[in-house]
Structure 1
Amino acid sequence: MNPSAASFRRTKIIVTLGPATESEEMLEKAIRAGADVFRLNMAHAKHDWTRTIIRRIRGVSQRVGREVAIMMDIKGPEIRTGDVAAPIELKPGEIFDFTMQPGDDGGSSTEIRSVHVNYKDLVNDVKVGDTVLVDNGLIRLEVLEKQDARIRCRVLIPGELKSKRHINLPGVRVNLPSFTAKDKGDTIIGIEEGIDFVALSFVREAKDIETLRDFLKKQDSKAGIIAKIEDQSAIVNLDEIVMATDALMVARGDLGIECPVEELPIIQRKAVQACLRHGKAVIIATHMLESMITQPMPTRAEITDVANAVFELADCVMLSGETTVGKYPIESIEYLDKISRRIEQLETGEARLVKVEIPAIPEKLKVLRSAAMMAGEIDDARIITFTRQGVIARGLAALRPGRAPIIAFTPYVETLRQLRLLRSVIGILMPFEANPDDTIDHAIAHLKHTKQVDIGDKLVVVTDILSHDRLVDSVQLRTVR
């Protein structure tokens, strides 16, 4: 079927892999259901599994005939409680200690119980009056005083404290490196296996992204960087983070713990708008169809949540637990596909483009805008472009043309996979000719042969042309003959 407005899904789908989806059979089903990117969560992944699953994805993709991208989501800095011999039932108003000295786990001989924390400088980062959240915010404590290697707290919201529970510190600047030794080891494995994206957890400022980018350059990797915003520091530094990264993930899990929950929709909207303004891809993640971990269909609220992400013009929506351990992983992908397509049908197709600033291509952006506007004025037109590194395709996607699909031809499979992240972009692998006109002719012939266009269809072609022995930017309107 032609990639027209009626048949084409603009919003991309990211699927996190786990026991429910890691087999060859399930990977193939996920790709056929519409998965564009597979996410590997390195908080839970071993290196042997990582190598195996990446190679398996590549093999299944080739067999299906649809290359998908692979995102390695590295763990980042994390503060956790230590092991406890038995769960500690914290009571309202109880005085409780977090100790930086190993050996006090699970309580002590004194009246005040305690648990060890894996971050020795925590006592220096927090101050009296700060809030400590444990186990995804289910337990809440207030810092009363600090004593050498011990933080004394009062329990505000009680609960059962088990071993190795995650700690959040809303509003506290934690002096942990964003790119840890574990992250480096994991990333090297990913680079060796040819991953397409690295998602950096708990990004707080642009410097965090620059550290990872320097590391990737030293390893001669062209993997794109996805910055995950998960705490209040990231919100304060949002614009500089967006400008420094290749893409942004609104990681609503930790973000919803670190920030007041009523602020979360506002933060999401601000993040999407910042990405639209700077021409960067944006992913909405966490709890999109959470109920489908155990239920065969989503709640009405979840359907609306996905729809809002599509209305906001996000590039991608992402599944986590739904496809790692859920009972209905393929159905979850199918629901994202179905909801996205339906909402996208409401776009008017008017030539109303996003105002975007991309400093790397200021002049070329004017050409891309002209092409997108022209395509918006013609029924069932397609935008055709040619890109080696993906820059032109990213520029066109950033404008958010409301009608025409962006069909991007590239000679490199690495670029093809990275195009999977971009809204409205269909990537096609094809070698380029020395003469740009020959490349265009071969591209149109390919589209006709694969029945992606019909005779009479209008194509808005964005490309270089030879003029007096030099290449110049051009926008051409062609009719398929």
Structure 2
Amino acid sequence: MLAPQPTAPKRRYRSRRTKIIATLGPATESEATLEALIRAGTDVIRLNMAHANHEWTRSILRRIRAISARVGRDIATLMDIKGPEIRTGDLDTPLELKVGEIFDFTVKPGSDRLDAEEVRSVDVNYRDLVNDIRIGDTVLVDNGLITLEVLEKHDAHIRCRVLVPGELKSRRHINLPGVTVNLPSLTDKDRADATVGIEEGIDFIALSFVRSAADIALLRDFLAAKKSKARIVAKVEDQSGITNLDEIVLAADALMIARGDLGIECPLEELPIIQRRAVRACLSHARPVIVATHMLESMITQPIPTRAEITDVSNAVYELADCVMLSGETTIGRYPLESVQTLDKIARRIEHETEGLPESIPPFNGERMKVLHSAVVLANQLPDSKILTFTRHGFMAHGLAALRPAKAPILTFTPHEQLFRQLRLLRAVEPYLMPFAGEPDITIENAIAVLKKTGRVTAGDKLVVATDILSHDRLIDSVQLRTVFD
């Protein structure tokens, strides 16, 4: 008889600091599965508008709100609008492209082409392709599975040579690495989709293929015209976005490192460097950052991730990203709940390993950020302390989260319901909804009472309070150290 095998001791970790975004789809849209995802710790639900119609969007947003209310955990919602894209047209049957084959992309369907009877072709939905592309450029089709080189440009088509073969099906996505395309950043479809989200109280809108701060300004003007307080997540997906990274981070409310298209548009070996650079840029500008795509891709079909995927998620946590995001794993995957639980376990373990080791955070300008920095320094020096703060617009919470306290959670109170949900995107922030009193000190006492009632703090706990106080009839920023009493 075999002797019983020793088991690893159970570890007790603090509340998870890294947030989890799960994309909703056929595998997770039911009430039961959606409730399970929320109970498992999902912080933000993403809707991918590339695969959603308006009726489904309205229905699912209302379902999320209803389930959140029933569970007692109000989570945030993120609408990912499709943005500009270049795709091939429809084909009667798939085409098997061979190495060395000459192949045409046609921008004017039905037009005459040289040697048309000898050269196969497919239509493309982008008429300016001929103007934007150069001879010698690379055309990537179907997420880079097929590679072609541009040989010639004509009025109605471009002629290419197949470098990497594959089967070409209808409506495949085209990437043009290094090519600046003349496509609008906000399409008519995006405006229509965003309008539905705004009407249903969406918390975040993610803008695809952001190339400059001007793209963000266009969406921000649209939201302002609709009187929406939804916040903008800029998706960096191509070389233009990387080139203009700092201006994009400053213009947006958050950044998503969308590694799917980014890994196609940029050399693969550059992707980890781009990710690290983007995370640091967000930290230095006090913006939340999301690491997305292929985090647990194998769990679409398998119950456990690969060792490489575990390390990839761990690296995002080590880099101090605010969020990690699931896409196919929770839209069409067989194991959506297990995927969320896996992210949760990895994040908690890595955070426990690094707890108490504050990172070197870039310096900030501004008096208020210096005050917040002093609060974080004090919290880092006090074992088991917690940071308590209050915000009407989100600045205090964003600033404290960007400073990445080594171990103290950031207990954040706000009187605004939508901001309460939006705070779920921020690393280490635990949001609470509560009306503020006329005097700051009464608001602090009321917040402590809420924390005691919910069991989040107990007698003897140390609270580093970052807030404003009334002094000589004006409000000033302050840092206080308070002990919780019975």
- TM > 0.5 between the two? yes
Task: Please list, as runs of the form range in 1=range in 2, the aligned pairs for 1:47-446 lying within 5 A after superposition.
Answer: 47-103=54-110, 110-350=117-357, 354-357=361-364, 362-446=366-450
Question: Partner residue of 2:455?
Answer: 451
Conserved 8 A contact 1:294-1:328: yes
In 2, Cα distance between equivalents of 1:138 and 1:452: 50
Matched residues, number = 473
In 1, Cα distance between equivalents of 2:16 and 2:296: 19
Structure 1 unaligned spans of 5+: none
Q: CA RMSD in A?
A: 1.5
Structure 2 unaligned spans of 5+: 1-11
In 1, Cα distance between equivalents of 2:116 and 2:400: 66
In 2, Cα distance between equivalents of 1:275 and 1:152: 41
| Aligned-pair CA distance for 1:435 | 1.2
Which segment is superposed worse, 47-56 or 107-116?
Answer: 107-116
In 2, Cα distance between equivalents of 1:469 and 1:169: 59
Conserved 8 A contact 2:288-2:321: yes
Question: Partner residue of 2:7?
Answer: none
In 2, Cα distance between equivalents of 1:470 and 1:88: 72
In 2, Cα distance between equivalents of 1:187 and 1:342: 37
In 2, Cα distance between equivalents of 1:256 and 1:352: 27
Name the SS for the 2:479 alignment partner: strand
Name the SS for the 2:85 alignment partner: coil
Conserved 8 A contact 1:350-1:377: no
**What letter is aligned with 1:118?**
N
**What letter is aligned with 2:183?**
L
* TM-score, normalised by the number of residues in structure 2: 0.95
* TM-score, normalised by the number of residues in structure 1: 0.96
Is the alpha carbon distance of 1:353 and 1:65 closer, same or farther for their aligned partners in structure 2, counting shifts above 3 Å?
farther
Does residue 8 of the first structure (1) align with residue 15 of the second (2)? yes
Name the SS for the 1:379 alignment partner: coil
Cα deviation 1:214-263 (Å, max 9, x = unaligned): 11111111111100000111111111111111110000000011111111
| Aligned-pair CA distance for 1:357 | 3.1
Conserved 8 A contact 2:28-2:34: yes
Conserved 8 A contact 1:353-1:399: no
Name the SS for the 1:268 alignment partner: helix
Question: Partner residue of 1:26?
Answer: 33
Conserved 8 A contact 1:351-1:402: yes
Where in structure 1 do 4 or more consecutive aligned residues deviate above 3 Å?
A: 350-353
In 2, Cα distance between equivalents of 1:217 and 1:444: 35
Conserved 8 A contact 2:384-2:408: yes
Does residue 460 of the first structure (1) align with residue 467 of the second (2)? no
